Structure formats: structure tokens, C-alpha cells
Structure 1
Amino acid sequence: MSELKSQKDAYTLILEAIDTGVYRPGDRLVESELAERFGVSRTPIREALQRLETQSLLARDGRSLIVASLDHNQLSELYAVRAELEGLAARLAARHASVEEVSVLRDMVEEDRNLLDDPAALSRANRRFHKQIHLASHNRYLVQQLDLVHRTMALMATTSLAAEGRGVDALAEHEAIVNAIEARDEDRADEALKTHISKAFTTRLKLDSGRNSRLS
């Protein structure tokens, strides 16, 4: 295995561990422990940690690196940027998506109805759905920016889809987005996706408020 391949694997493995909640905001990441867990030498682990720190996914706590957390202002800024970029992706998808890409989106919505009792699985499916819209925009630079936004979303300790009733509502919103894309209605696709993100953000704020009140 080449050093470049090892570095990529180490980065991906750590990022996936953060994304799936193995490591949560505030958790300390130790080179030796990560190397042992993932079966990778310490050099690519060190380089992966440096890359994640540069991307603000990790933060310094003294001499240690910890998984970063988002405060209220950072969360607001992230969702504001996400709404604009996702809206643009939906707009471009309405313009450029092939018939096959629209069909895949519609199939995703139907298949995801079977996951309503499993918030974690629904969250993974939600990411796949949004990624498919990004790809359907046929704009590589937009896809790159959205990848960065979605990496930062991994810093959220819980999914908004865990809130009661949110899964059903989210799938209805997904269906509205697909309908607009299929109709080639760029304005409606843009607005439908921005509305979807706004409702997800509202749910996120309610979840965080409830968690903070229990801790106080």
C-alpha cells in the first residue's frame, strides 16, 4: 500500500468515524489509538489529522486534538451557506439532470419510506439523496463546495431526522424537490430545497434547545 493511499484511507476512516458518531464533538483523538483501531501506521494518521484540523473538523485543546463542535453562530452560518448552495444545486439539476438521474432520485424517495423507524439509516439515505442532487447539477465546483459543507455537518452529534415526525415531513419535502426537478421548474426546485433546509435547521435548533435545557 502506497503512502498516498494510506493517507487517503486514514483520512476517510477518521472522517467516517466522526460522521457515524464513533467520535463525537469534544472527543480527543490520539495518533497511537487511531493507528491501532484502523490498522494504519502513525504517519498517515498524523497527516490525516493535520488535514482535518486545517478543515476545522478538529480543534486544539492544549496539545491534544479534539473533534470540533459548532456553536450557535457557526451552526447558523453553516445552514445559511448550505441553503444557498443546495438551492443552486436543485436549480441546476432542474436544468441539467438526465431522465435517468431524476428516476434515481424518485426511487430513493420511495425506498427511504422503509427507513422511517431507523433515524440513523434514514440519515445516511438523506445524505445519499442530497449527494445525488449535487451530482445532477452537473457542476463540479459546486459539488466540491457542497462536499466541504457536508463534511462539516458531521460535527453535529445527532441527526434532525431523529425528531418525532421529522422523517415523514422530510420525505414529503424530498418528493416536492424531485417533482420540481422533474418538471424542469428551476425556481420551484430552488425554493423547495431551501424550504427543506430551513425546516431541518428549525428542527435542529429545537433539538439543541431541548438538550441544553436538560443539561442546565
Structure 2
Amino acid sequence: MGLQKSQQTDAYSLILDAIDLGVYRPGDRLVESELAERFGVSRTPIREALQRLETQSLLARDGRSLIVASLDHNQMAELYVVRRELEGLAARLAAQHATPEEVRILREMVEADNALINDPVALARANRRFHKQIHLASHNRYLVQQLDLVHRTMALMATTSLAAQGRGEIAQAEHDTIVRTIENKDAEGAGAALREHISVAFMTRLKQDAARREEET
């Protein structure tokens, strides 16, 4: 039973990571046999992982096939509203509860990530690590669980807002402000700084979508 449970978890994580990394993008069809071969996992845990992902609305039905879901404008707006408030709460709690070691790690992340400003893909991965570290520094397991769900859903967006011209540098400056408020144990300032950071990211994504629609017409 333990091995079966482990295989189910591994299959779920493998598919989720592949979506998060853009191996499978919104609209791509996921075939049970192909996934089993790719990941070296039997078809039963793959099937159960797909069912779980469908329940979480990360996959959608297209006839008899399962495809990676996509977010329409309203879904994206709703997601960013929730993300803004939860991320702000995480930063506020981190300012109150983070250990000196956790704060030092955040500072080191910002300094290291400055070297990635011109590499949107690498910066996007670093950005996820940075936000995850803030979530953990909140020391609230229920908040971390909810933010994990939000960030899994973020993977359904085909592009990163960090790909917009100049956004990487601005985002890094915002990260620096967030860490500085956490270092100063300024809970309200940290919450406000992170909420503003998410708001700017949302506006950037809206501009990206508008530009894409214009190119398609």
C-alpha cells in the first residue's frame, strides 16, 4: 500500500512539474500511455494522478481526452485577487515570525537573482523559489497549502509576466523592498509591499494579453 501511494504521489508531482515547467502547455493533450512511458511509471498511478489534476481543474475535458486547462480573463483576474491577499498575508506573517536564518536566505536569494534579470525563464523559476520561501517563513501551514494551490494554478498561464521588457529589473527591486520590510519586522509594510508587487505583475500580464490579442487581429 505504501509503494502504491508513493507511485501515485510521484506521478502527480511529475505531471504537475511538467506543466509548471512548460513541457505541457494549456491546450496540450495528455495521453495516459505516453505519460507512463515518459516518466517510467505504470499506467494506474498515472490514471489516478490525471483524475486528481482534473478534480483540481488543472486539466479539462476535450471530448474523451484530457488537456491542460487554460484560464480566461475572468479566471485570471479572480486568481490574482486571491493571490494578492494571500501573498500579502504571508509577507506580513513572515515579518512577524521568520527566523534570522530565513530572512538571511531571502536576502541572499534577491542578491543572487539579480544576475538573472535578462533570462526570463530562469528568473521565473527563481521567482517561484523566492515566493515559496516567504510562504514557509510565515510559519502557517494552512496558508502555505492554499498558496501552493494558487501557484499550481498559475502554471496554467502560458507566459510569465517576467518576460515583459523591463519587468525583471522592476520585480527584483520590488523583491528587495519586500525583504527589507521583513528584515525590519515591519509586518504592515511587508504585506503592502507584496500586495503591490502582485498588482504590478497582474497589470503587466494584462498588457501582455492585450498586445497578444492585437497581434492576432
Q: What is the TM-score normalised by the length of structure 1?
A: 0.98
The answer as to 2:120 corresponding to 1:126 is no
Deviation at 1:208, TM superposition (A): 1.1
The 2-side partners of 1:29 and 1:215 are apart by 26
Deviation at 1:209, TM superposition (A): 1.2
The 1-side partners of 2:67 and 2:39 are apart by 18
| Structure 1 segments of 4+ aligned residues over 3 angstroms from their partners | none
SS in 2 for 1:66: strand
Residue aligning to 2:71: 70
The 2-side partners of 1:210 and 1:12 are apart by 33
The 1-side partners of 2:49 and 2:210 are apart by 33
Deviation at 1:5, TM superposition (A): 1.3
Deviation at 1:118, TM superposition (A): 1.1
Residue aligning to 2:165: 164
Deviation at 1:212, TM superposition (A): 1.7
The 1-side partners of 2:44 and 2:210 are apart by 40
Residue aligning to 1:43: 44
The 2-side partners of 1:206 and 1:13 are apart by 32
Deviations 1:69-127 (A, max 9, x none): 00000000000000000000000001101111110000000000111121111000000
Deviations 1:17-39 (A, max 9, x none): 11111111011111011111111
What is the identity, as a one-letter code, of the residue corresponding to 2:177?
Answer: A
SS in 2 for 1:2: helix
The answer as to 2:73 corresponding to 1:82 is no
Equivalent residue pairs, number:
216
Deviation at 1:199, TM superposition (A): 0.3
Deviation at 1:68, TM superposition (A): 0.3
- 1:1-216 correspondence to structure 2 within 5 Å: 2-216=3-217
Deviation at 1:12, TM superposition (A): 0.8
The 2-side partners of 1:165 and 1:117 are apart by 9
What is the identity, as a one-letter code, of the residue corresponding to 2:55?
Answer: T
Deviation at 1:135, TM superposition (A): 0.4
In the alignment, structure 1 segments of 5+ residues that lack a partner are none
In the alignment, structure 2 segments of 5+ residues that lack a partner are none
Deviation at 1:213, TM superposition (A): 1.6
Q: What is the TM-score normalised by the length of structure 2?
A: 0.98
The 1-side partners of 2:114 and 2:191 are apart by 23
Deviation at 1:9, TM superposition (A): 1.1
Deviation at 1:194, TM superposition (A): 0.3
